[in-house]
Amino acid sequence: MALGSTKKTDMSPLLSASPKGSDKAVLKKLLPVETATGSTEAYDVINTLLPLQDTIVFSLPVIMRDRGNGLETFGDIKIIVQKLMALGFRQFQLSNLGALDIFETKDVLWYADYPLYCLNPLSAAQLRKLGFCRYTLSPEDDKENLQTLYSADADLIIYQDTPLFISETCVWANMKRRCPGISECGFRQVTVENEHGDRFVAINDRCKTVVIGERPFSIIHRIPKLLEAGQRDFRIDLCWRDYTPEMIEDIFSGIQNRTTMKYATMGNYERGLI
């Protein structure tokens, strides 16, 4: 059994680095850039990850526009990828086939993330044909269909705050009918409820809104059955919720003990793909 994890961080400081080919002195050129949150996390992250290049996979955004807020345009992401490759990183996870155009060399390993909807063996075969070395199965899939896709090339998400939708507009500005501007905005997230009583968390992502369920998706307690069915590689996704060290420890303890996570949902896994 192998376990991987996904964590979200801001790579925008790479845009301020001066390219030096494959020279790792590039890292010393990375100047901490103040973002809307004042974060310089990426600088420390890259320092930490450099010795672990062979085990790190960078996941690119699902949506990359020609223009937009923040630093998630296609051109900016391309610059960031080039800087990472200059530092020696060669593994990237893609959620959009258009991201293939970012790469100008074949000297790279591509991983297909779940938004590419690998829901049948033909999809898996096509992803391999396109050059992907691995693919992540969809958290929206059910037990019966997933069993047809288990393989040595497949990763299965067993814990995630699955984004239910991503909006180009800010839910907070819409509710308040005003926007103070990104530099003055203190909105991080808000819990909302629909007419059926279902609760969701709307998160500010650089003026876009990402909505996740109040309860995370988890099939951690099904690990023994998944191993029995032939699946060996698993992944936990901690990208959207603000996880404390104690919460993360609880998740890994659940994996170790194969226990049911409190307040979690199994999504379509048991009830079937709708």
What single string gives the DSSP state of each residue in 99-164? GGGG---S-SEEEE-GGG---SHHHHHHHHHHTEEEEEPPTT--HHHHTTT--TTEEEEEEE--EE
Q: What CA–CA distance (Å, rounded) separates 233 from 154?
A: 7
Please compute the mean of the pLDDT values over residues 191-204 and round it to a whole number.
Answer: 92
Please compute the mean of the pLDDT values over residues 160-174 and round it to a whole number.
Answer: 89
Q: Report the percentage of the chain scoring pLDDT > 90.
A: 53
Whether the predicted pLDDT of 239 surpasses 70 = yes
Four-CA torsion 45, 12, 214, 250, nearest 10 degrees: 0
Whether the predicted pLDDT of 235 surpasses 70 = yes
* Reported confidence tier of residue 38, pLDDT bands at 50, 70, 90: very low
Are 131 and 264 in a shared domain? yes
Q: What is the pLDDT of residue 28?
A: 34
Q: What CA–CA distance (Å, rounded) separates 251 from 131?
A: 33
Q: What CA–CA distance (Å, rounded) separates 208 from 211?
A: 10
Q: What is the pLDDT of residue 170?
A: 87
Whether the predicted pLDDT of 226 surpasses 90 = yes
Sign of CA dihedral 21, 23, 27, 29: negative
Are 63 and 76 in a shared domain? yes
Mean pLDDT of the chain: 84
* Reported confidence tier of residue 15, pLDDT bands at 50, 70, 90: low
Q: Which domain, by its residues, includes 208?
A: 166-212
Are 246 and 185 in a shared domain? no
Please compute the mean of the pLDDT values over residues 16-23 and round it to a whole number.
Answer: 40
Are 118 and 227 in a shared domain? yes
Give 111-150 pLDDT, tens digit per residue.
999 999 999 999 999 999 999 999 999 999 999 999 999 9
Are 15 and 110 in a shared domain? yes
More confident residue, 39 or 116: 116
What's the total number of domains in the chain?
A: 2
* Reported confidence tier of residue 36, pLDDT bands at 50, 70, 90: very low
Alpha carbon distances (Å) from 133 to 56, 65, 95: 15, 26, 14
- At residue 29's C-alpha, the angle toward residues 25 and 30, to 5°, is 115
Are 103 and 199 in a shared domain? no
Give 64-104 pLDDT, tens digit per residue.
888 765 567 899 899 889 989 998 999 999 999 999 999 98
User: Of 29-33, 134-138, 251-255, 261-265, which gets the smallest average pLDDT?
Assistant: 29-33
| 2, 227 contact by CB (below 8 A) | no
Most confident of 15-29, 35-49, 66-80, 106-120: 106-120
CATH code, domain carrying 20: 3.20.20
Are 30 and 81 in a shared domain? yes
Most confident of 4-13, 43-52, 69-78, 206-215: 206-215
Are 226 and 107 in a shared domain? yes
Are 149 and 133 in a shared domain? yes
| 178, 225 contact by CB (below 8 A) | no
Are 30 and 147 in a shared domain? yes
Element (H, E) at 225: helix 223-228
